[in-house]
Each structure stands twice: as structure tokens, then as C-alpha cells.
Structure 1
Amino acid sequence: MNKNKIKASKILLFLVASLFLITFIFAQDETPEYNVCCEKTENGAWCQNTLEENCLNSVDPETGKPYRKTPTSCEATSFCKLGCCIDTEEGLCMENTPLRVCEENKGTWVDDSQCIVPQCNLGCCLIGDQASFVTLTRCKRLSNIYGLETNFRNDILNEKSCIMLAYRQDRGACVYEVDGERTCKIMTRGECLESTKEKSENQTSETEFFKNYLCSADDLATNCGPTKETICVEGKFEVYFKDSCGNPANIYDANKIYSKDPSYWQKIVQKQESCGYGKPNTNSKTCGNCEYLLGSICKEGEAAYGDHICHDINCHNTENGNDYRNGESWCVYQGETGNGADPVGSRHFRHVCVHGEETIEPCADFRNEVCISEEFGSAYGNFQEAACRVNRWSDCIDQIERYDCENKDLRDCYWMTGAHYEAAGEGKIGESSDEGDDEFFDDVFNKEEDYARYVKENSEGILAGGGICLPNVPPGFEFWNSEGKAKSICSLGNSKQVVIFEEDIFGSKSCVENCEVLEQNWVNNMNKLCISLGDCGNHVNFIGRYTDKGVYVKDNGKKRLGEEPSEEDEEEEDVEWEEFE
């Protein structure tokens, strides 16, 4: 009987196992075969191993090409390869992120799926009395959010140690006995623990730490009591009450002396919960909640109680007549700047407001550096910053396309229309012809396009029409140095033009080709071009004195503008016309 039961059990077990196996095999057969990697699917998912019919076939607006798909796993592709995606703005590192997904979210992708890269190194970020084990970039972001200074410890290697460090940063009352009298100091928990190890001979008890308590708290029963005196605390900007033991209490508030509000002397009150939060409270006699970012710090002064107030450290009535906040910087120029307008001998300067004093920092001389500034928003309003940067003018004249000329990422140039630079053609002004000019005109100049061709081939230097790329801030020259670069650079503005006239049967002449160079507007444009190249052309200097010896214009041998340059003035610009009738 027992044998039959055992046999029946075995048969039943076999049937169940067989049924399970068959069901499993059938289930496998019903599973679709994922045969391709789709860069993007119809339902908007990125980098999916799926059926080809699920792939999105439209054009990627980022690349202008169709979304990719390939008959392999996504891990084996270049566009969906797994790596580390770094959010440089938030300071976050995301492991095992496909390249395309990272690019779509404006992240920086690194070929390391585990994010073992310097940008993702973790450390302890201390934010007030809190701590977080994050990257340095993330720590800066968090500090900015909470309006606190960045305190990042890269020597802390794990989260547990980071939390313990924050625990030791707790601030409060450290109570102990000296010669039998109960006294107190305000410090961190860590400092209080250390003082236990190093207690003095007069200390007759172990230290006790009370988080967030003031030494004047009634519950602690110490010999430290409230006063009406105030102090400035090293490393802080606010005015603080001082207890009878010399410890800082809470931020000074004339309405919170002990007789008016005893509760203000029991526990630490945070800055944001104190009087006048978010304001500079400059010169206030009743509130000491100074705000450094708005331009106020603790300093001696007359107040309702104590001898300290929030002192104004912003800059007023500066050189340019404007007011600036502490830490702001701005640019000052010696005349117009940009579009080639900087005066001869001028220089750029960076001015900085430092604790109420306006300091001046010159940029490199000869305009080898330019001053640039930018205004950005902050939690405390707009803030301006300026910096001296290298003047990237040297390859402006080489740019022939406006887009390249105005590419601010590469160079500091501007585009001027109405003139262009072109090397002289084979036939130059003044060259003789075996046939003579008259025969050349008779044989060749029978069509209007031949006039234009002749002008183009025989004019040289700066020509009319088109556009030219010039330094936005012209460089300065050591004009007294005969071996300097003034002559070679200014000579780039030289121009010799051919103007063609026709004479009718009555002997009257009329201009038929390149006539615009006879107009005063052309002369003005040529002078603007000259001064844009550097300290060339007719222009004012930085003290307002004008010189008219920088451009010499001669029309068919007759002077039209300026004095003919002497040998000493060879580097000055020369614009010359020659007429053919």
C-alpha cells in the first residue's frame, strides 16, 4: 500500500513537472524577439531593445537626420553606449546612462558607466548644521540655494563620517565647573568634547554640551547672564548681543533686551528669524542683522544699546557717478569704445568696490587687453562683474565672411560695409603698355563689364563695395619705435583707385566707373577703416586732441585731404586716385 502511494506521488510529481516545463516552453515561444536597438521609439523612449516596427522613423531635430536603429543590442552601439552622465549645473552624476539620453538632457557624457571620474568624486558638504555626501559642484549648488558659503571637505571619504562631522558641528552651550562655579562657553559640540580632554587645573567637572542653548539660558544655571552690550564676531557679519561671560548671544535687536523679552536669551535664534532679515539694515540703531551681500557688516557705531551698527560698505559717488554694491566691478573707458572708436593712447580699466573703497585695476596697455562686463541676477538683485581679457584682434583682417568675423567665441571684430580688401591685380597703376593706354582703351573698352574688370585689375589695397572685418577695439602702437608694427599694420589701410571717365564730343567729362570713391562718404569710410586698424588715421587721442595727419588723400595728383606724409610719417594712411579718360 505504501509502495503504491509512493509510486503515485512520483507519477503526480512527474506530471506536474512536465506541465510546468511545457508551459514554460510555450511561454518562451510567445515572447517577441527584440531584434534591433532603437535610438528612439514611437512612444518616446530612448535607447530600447525592441522590434523594428517600434522604432521612430522621423527626423531628429537636433541632427537633421533620421533617428538611428541597428540590428544589435543597444549596449553595443555608439549612440546608446552606457556611460556616466554629468549634470554640470546641478552637480549630479548618473551611472549607466546611454549617450543619447545624456545628450538629450544637456548633460556631459563620460565613457565610464560607474562614474569613477574626478568630476564625480564625493566629499562632505557642510551647509549650516546639516551635511550631505555629494560632489563639489553639487555642494556649490546647494550652498547657493541656501545663500551660504561653500564648505566642502574632500578628506571625508564616506557618508557616515560626513554625518558624524555634521554632528560635531552642532553649536550650543558648553557647560563646566571652574573652582566649583558653573560657567559656560558658546562653541561647537566637537570643540566642547576636545575641551574635556584638555581641561585646565581649575576645571572641577566634565563638560556638558547643550545644543542650540545660549549660555545665558535660565535652565543651565550658569554664571553667564544677559547684558545690553554688543560685539562683532570673527567670521560673521552681524552685530551680536554679548553675555556677562563675553560669549555672543543672539543678533542685536533693541526690542529683545532681557527686560523686554527674556525668551530671546534662552536658545539660539537663526538669522532668518531675526529682525530685518533680507535687508542691509545700514546704520540702524535698533537692528544688527547685517547682510554682507547687500553691503553691510558689523562695525563700531552709535546704537540704542551697545556700540556697534551695520556699517555701509557699498560704493557711492564713484568716478562715473554711479553707485555700486560691495564686490561689484565695472569697466571704465577713456572715451568711446567698440566698432573701432577707441581713442589713440587710450586704455581700458576695471574698477572694483571693496568695502566701500573704489579701487582701479588697469588692463594691459596698448589695448592688448579689453575690459568686458556682465550683469546677472541673484537673490539680492542684479550684480555686475567685469574682467580684463586679451584683445583678440590679430586675425580680424583675414576674415572674409561676416559670420566668421562676428564670432565672439573666437575673436573681437566687427564688420564694416562699403569697402573690402583685395590684393592688386596683374596690371597695376603706373605700369606701361607697349600699345599705350589709348590703343588699350580702343581695343578693350568696348563694353561696360570691361570697365569694371580694368578697375579691379589696376586698383589695389582697400576697394569700394562689399565688407571688411576690422578689430572691434583697435590695438595701440609704440609709434616712437621705428621697428614696431605700426607701419605694417597701418599700411593695410592704403588704397589706390582707378576711376574711369568718358569725354563727349563737346569735351565734357563724366564718370562712368568706380565713381563712389570720388564722394566724401568714401573718404570718411576710409578714415574710419584706418582708425579701426590701430592708432592710424585722423582721430582724437585720449585727452581729446585731434590729429589730421593720419590720412592723406590725393586726387589725380591734387591734394584733397591732409598733408603729404614725410619720410618720418610713412606709416600713415595713403588714399590715392588716378583717372583715365
Structure 2
Amino acid sequence: MRIRKLFLFSILIIFLIGIISAQTSYCCERLEGNGPWCQNAPQEECDASYRAAPTSCEATSYCKLGTCINAKEGTCLPNTPQKVCEDGGGIWNEGTVSEIPQCKLGCCLIGEQAAFVTQTRCKKLSSVYGLEVNYRTDIQSETQCILSATADVKGACVFEREFERSCKMTTRKECQKRKAITPSATSQDQGILQGILGGGGEQQSITSSEAEFHEGYLCSAESLNTICGPRGGTTCVDGRDEVYFLDTCGNLANVYDFGKIDDATYWTYIAGTNGVVVNCGSGNNANSPTCGNCDYYLGSTCRKGNAQYENFICKNLACTYKGQTYQHGETWCASPTNDADTNSVGGRHFRLVCYNNEVSVEPCAEFRQEVCVQSTVNTFRTAACRVNKWQDCYSNDNQQDCENGDKRDCKWVNGTSILKDENGASLAFDAEGNAVEAACVPSYAPGFNFWEEDTEAVSMCGLANMQCNVVYEAGIKEGFFGASGDKGNAYDSDCIEKCKAENALAGTVGIIDICLAKPECKSKCVDSKGKILESWKDSMKTMCISLGDCGSKKNYIGQNGYYDWEKSFVRSNVSE
């Protein structure tokens, strides 16, 4: 009897303790002291500023679990209380991740990596890495997604074919698609089988096996135990520069290196993996009989030739032109930019190009509206046809503006001016603002279609027409020429007349002597005997031919024009 009482008492105590424990469990919206959100705890641990209910948090509205969507980052967090989600800036949804469209996962391909994420998250990641979005909704598992990122890696694809273990160099993706199925049995074999086994005559495959992919391996690798072995020859490959080894199945191996023709490791792994490197030769290996490591940008590529093994080498792409060697990719001007023949009548600028061991010719615009300019950087020559900016040369009245190479292609020529006022005085000036006899003319004389009626040749060449009026000292003082044909010192009549007028206005005495003493009034075109000065002739010639196809100018094949220079200088004798 005593034992029964003790048993009942024990049960009663346990039952009462259970009731007390259940009554003290609350769902605290937040625990005190800035504690965690939505926790089941005794009421005294709840933060009085927030809600609390004597039930489990799953049963409350404020701590109900759902999915928290971060629209900016593209993430979806399951089993998140609504309050926690909203306070964190998220969008709460009572559905599960699989029930929410924007939380649907797909494969995000980022370069050579992959992530199984939402489309929004994929856009975010792509923008971080500066790549285009490549989102695949057809891939439904993370494993498949990760494998797809390495789908383009290369290696040996081993498969069974006609009861032999064969191999093909390909990508993981292509290898996964491949199945090696032995050809169907012949009609004779089918007849024998039918006689033994009976049945219809429908052909069936005898065997079928999945292909095996070995990343980074060559088909010639001995460990793969295939029918493919090393030393199957060499070849060129479209889109590549180098000479490549072939295995005995015709698959590409590594770059041709005669020094490694018997190197088992070089025939086992793809270069760049497992310590295998291509390190034969240096530079472009042009015409090397032992190394096929060509470099197109350095001037070589795979072509037929005499090699130590087989018949492909790195062919030199350099060119020989007029006894001089030019590198592949070099360009140069056929003649110097300021060459006299290039700028002669009918002359034209040409750009030459060395490309794949051949020289091609590219003409610049006709009538020398373009000129060929050339530069050299580290011995490598580069040339280009660019616009000849000659059109506004004539209007510049000072040397600084004239020779501003950023705006125009002009040069400053001393000796005569094409800019004059109504009295014939020069409108060209030096740096101090003094009038000078000089002119701004094209550095590269343009060409004119002078044989046509509607042409600018006449007006352009007419700018070089000059008249030099001369008076002599004897004539000025005495009214007659000196003896023995010596007319006395020659002076510029325009300068003398201007000087006389200025001094007469000022009432100066001895005007003639003052004017004769002025250096600028000395004649620049003839001497005291009336002979035209060679210096003035040269100045006028330079002026004339610089304006374009003007004057007595040779053509591009070296023939002279109809008139010589002497006939261009017409002289009228000064009367007494």
C-alpha cells in the first residue's frame, strides 16, 4: 500500500512540473537587451517594448516563418520571420522558396565559373565582373550547372569502336554527347544468328558504351591504353600560328618540338597542364627546322617547309623590297614625303604594306590631297595616308601661324610676298610686326587638273605672278644711265616713291639721298647692269612650285614642261 502511494505522488509531481513549464513558454518578438528576434523563451526574458504571446512562434502572426526576398541582391532566404525580413529591407512572402517565381533557380555562367542562383542574382554577379548575362533556365540542378562551366575544357575522349579502345581530342561537352556504337552486323552474320536464335531479320547493335573524358590528357597518353600513339606527323591548323604534332589517330598533340619527339610526358598531357610547357626556340622561330612555336604577330606562321621531322615549319612572313627587308605588318612610304618626284606634276603618294611575305601597294588620294607620312618605333616602321592640309596656307601672314602643324601643312618662304596692299606693299609680318617679303605656301604642293576648263589651277598659280619695278641711281639723280652699260645702283621703285612721299610730307631736306640710303629700298630682283638676280629667281621658283602644279615643273616620269624657267621671267627695259 505504501508503494502505491509513492507511485501516485511521483506521477503527480511530474505532471505539475510539465504544466508549469508549458505555461512559462512565450514567443518573444525580441529578447531583451537588443537580443535576437522571434525566440521561444520565458516571459521575463522578452523585451517589454515588443510583443509576446504564450504560444510557439510558428503560431504567431508577427513571427510567422516565410521567405525573405532581397530584390536588389537577388537572394531568397527560407524560414525567415516576417519582422526580421522587413527590418532588414527585404520583401517577405509566406510561401516557400520553390513556390515563389522570382526565387526560381537557374545556371548563371560567369566566364569559366558557374553558380546556381536566381536570375536577378545572376545579373548582379555579371555586372560585378563586367560580363554579359548568360543565364540558363534549362539547367535544373547545381551539379549540372557546375559541370557546364567546364564543358569547354579539352582532353581525351576515350570510347570503344569496333572492339578497340579509340580516342578523340575534344571538349568535355562533346565527349558527353558521344557514344561509340559498333556497326550493325552484316547480312551474312544476321543470317547465321537467325538460324541459331530464330526471330525476325531486324538489325540490332551489338555493343554500346559511354565515352570517358580525361581532362588535360592527350590521346597519345600511354596510361589511357588506346590505339592512338605518338609520332603521327605534323600539321598546320586553321586559325592557329603554330606547327602541331599529330598522334597516330590523327589527333592534335602539342606544338612541334623536335627535342621532345620521344618525351613521354610531352605526349601525355596538354601543354599548360601537369608541368608541360612549350619552350622551344625564341622569338618567332622563323624557318627553324626543330621548333614549331610560331608567332604571327612577330612575323611567322605555319607553312610547308624543310623541318627536321616531317615538312612543316614556322615560315618567315617578312618581305624584301628593293633589296631591303621589311617585317610582317610593317608599312612604309614609297618615297619620302617631301620627295621632288612624288610632288611633281602627276605625282602621287603611295603606302606599301608587308603582309604574309608579300608587298602590296596602297595609293593615297590623287592630286596629292593626301600625303604619306612615316614613323619608326623601335625599328618598326609605320606609315599612313593622311589629308594634306594645304588649303588655307596662302592666307596666313606670319610664320608662327603658317607653321602650326596641328592645323595646316605649310611652310614660310622668304624672298617675296603674295599678300600685298593696293600699293604693292607686303602684308606679311615678322614676329615684331614689321613688314617682310615672305609668304606662307603648302609644304606638299597639291596637284591640279589644269587640262580642264573649270579648274582652280589658273587662280592658284596666278598667286605667284610678281612684278618687280626698278629705278636706277643715275636715272633718279641725273635722268640718264651711266656709262659702259652700268645703269647705276638698282632700287625698288615702289619703295623709293613711298619714301619720297613720306619725307615730302614731313618737309625733309635731301629726300633722295635719304631714300637711297634705306637698305629695304635696294632692288631684290636685278643688279646695276639690269641682270635678274639668281637669288630672286630661286625665290620665285620656290614660290611657284610650292603653290601646286605651277611654273616649269617636271612631271612624275622626269620630263620637263613645255616652257623653261627663263621664259617665265619677262623683262621690260626702263626708258631714260
Q: 1:276 to 1:538 in 2, by over 3 A?
A: farther
Letter in 2 for 1:392: K
Q: TM-score by structure 2 length?
A: 0.57
> Is residue 2:541 matched to residue 1:533?
no
1:482 match: secondary structure = coil
Structure 2: distance between partners of 1:303 and 1:405: 60
- State the 1:536 CA deviation: 0.7
Structure 2: distance between partners of 1:279 and 1:534: 48
Letter in 2 for 1:330: W
> Is residue 2:524 matched to residue 1:516?
yes
Q: 1:502 to 1:464 in 2, by over 3 A?
A: farther
- State the 1:410 CA deviation: 2.3
Deviations 1:84-139 (A, max 9, x none): xxxxxxxxxxxxxxxxxxxxxxxxxxxxxxxxxxxxxxxx998xx899xxxxxxxx
Counterpart of 2:326? Answer: 324
Deviations 1:413-440 (A, max 9, x none): 2222333222341x57xxxxxxxxxxxx
> Is residue 2:222 matched to residue 1:246?
no
Contact 1:339 1:471 in 2 (8 A): no
1:337 match: secondary structure = coil
Contact 1:478 1:484 in 2 (8 A): yes
- State the 1:155 CA deviation: 7.7
Q: 1:467 to 1:507 in 2, by over 3 A?
A: closer
1:531 match: secondary structure = helix
- State the 1:479 CA deviation: 2.3
Counterpart of 1:267? Answer: 269
> Is residue 2:386 matched to residue 1:389?
yes
Counterpart of 1:482? Answer: 453
Structure 1: distance between partners of 2:458 and 2:229: 80
2:299 maps to which of 285, 295, 302: 295
- State the 1:575 CA deviation: 6.9
Contact 1:278 1:291 in 2 (8 A): no
Counterpart of 2:360? Answer: 359
Letter in 1 for 2:446: P
- State the 1:466 CA deviation: 4.3
Q: 1:403 to 1:339 in 2, by over 3 A?
A: farther
Structure 1: distance between partners of 2:368 and 2:302: 41
Deviations 1:337-382 (A, max 9, x none): 26998222111111111211111122222212211222234xxxx4
Structure 2: distance between partners of 1:125 and 1:488: 67
Superposed counterparts of 1:100-499, under 5 Å: 156-157=132-133, 167-193=150-176, 195-196=177-178, 204-258=208-262, 261-270=263-272, 273-316=277-320, 318-319=321-322, 321-333=323-335, 337=338, 342-377=343-378, 382-425=379-422, 427=423, 465-499=436-470
Contact 2:342 2:348 in 1 (8 A): no
Contact 1:340 1:474 in 2 (8 A): no
- Output the aligned Cα RMSD: 3.9
Structure 1: distance between partners of 2:574 and 2:251: 92
Counterpart of 2:559? Answer: 545
Structure 1: distance between partners of 2:229 and 2:152: 25
Contact 1:413 1:470 in 2 (8 A): yes
Q: 1:314 to 1:125 in 2, by over 3 A?
A: farther
Structure 2: distance between partners of 1:340 and 1:302: 44
Structure 1: distance between partners of 2:218 and 2:375: 44
Contact 2:337 2:373 in 1 (8 A): no
Structure 2: distance between partners of 1:166 and 1:530: 72
Letter in 2 for 1:301: G
Letter in 1 for 2:523: C
- State the 1:159 CA deviation: 11
Letter in 2 for 1:355: N
More strand by share: 1
Counterpart of 1:569? Answer: none
Q: 1:536 to 1:389 in 2, by over 3 A?
A: same
1:529 match: secondary structure = helix
Structure 2: distance between partners of 1:384 and 1:242: 38
Query: Comparing 237-246 with 535-544, which one deviates more in the overlay?
Result: 535-544
Structure 2: distance between partners of 1:456 and 1:290: 65
- State the 1:521 CA deviation: 0.7
Larger Rg: 2
Contact 1:172 1:188 in 2 (8 A): yes
- State the 1:493 CA deviation: 0.8
Letter in 2 for 1:535: D
Counterpart of 2:567? Answer: 562
Give the total of aligned pairs. 374
- State the 1:180 CA deviation: 4.8
Letter in 2 for 1:157: V
Structure 1: distance between partners of 2:230 and 2:382: 43
- State the 1:483 CA deviation: 2.1
Superposed counterparts of 1:71-110, under 5 Å: none
Q: 1:125 to 1:298 in 2, by over 3 A?
A: farther
Deviations 1:368-409 (A, max 9, x none): 2211222234xxxx4222222222211111222333322333
Q: 1:185 to 1:549 in 2, by over 3 A?
A: same
1:255 match: secondary structure = helix
Structure 2: distance between partners of 1:337 and 1:399: 21
Contact 2:419 2:439 in 1 (8 A): no
Gaps of at least 5 residues in structure 1 are 1-123, 132-152, 429-454, 458-462, 552-560, 564-573
Contact 2:161 2:180 in 1 (8 A): no
Structure 2: distance between partners of 1:182 and 1:154: 44
1:293 match: secondary structure = helix
Letter in 2 for 1:327: G
Q: 1:389 to 1:456 in 2, by over 3 A?
A: closer
Letter in 1 for 2:208: T
Structure 2: distance between partners of 1:456 and 1:222: 93
2:525 match: secondary structure = helix
Q: 1:386 to 1:187 in 2, by over 3 A?
A: farther
Q: 1:264 to 1:492 in 2, by over 3 A?
A: same
Contact 1:336 1:343 in 2 (8 A): no
Contact 1:539 1:548 in 2 (8 A): no
Contact 2:241 2:302 in 1 (8 A): yes
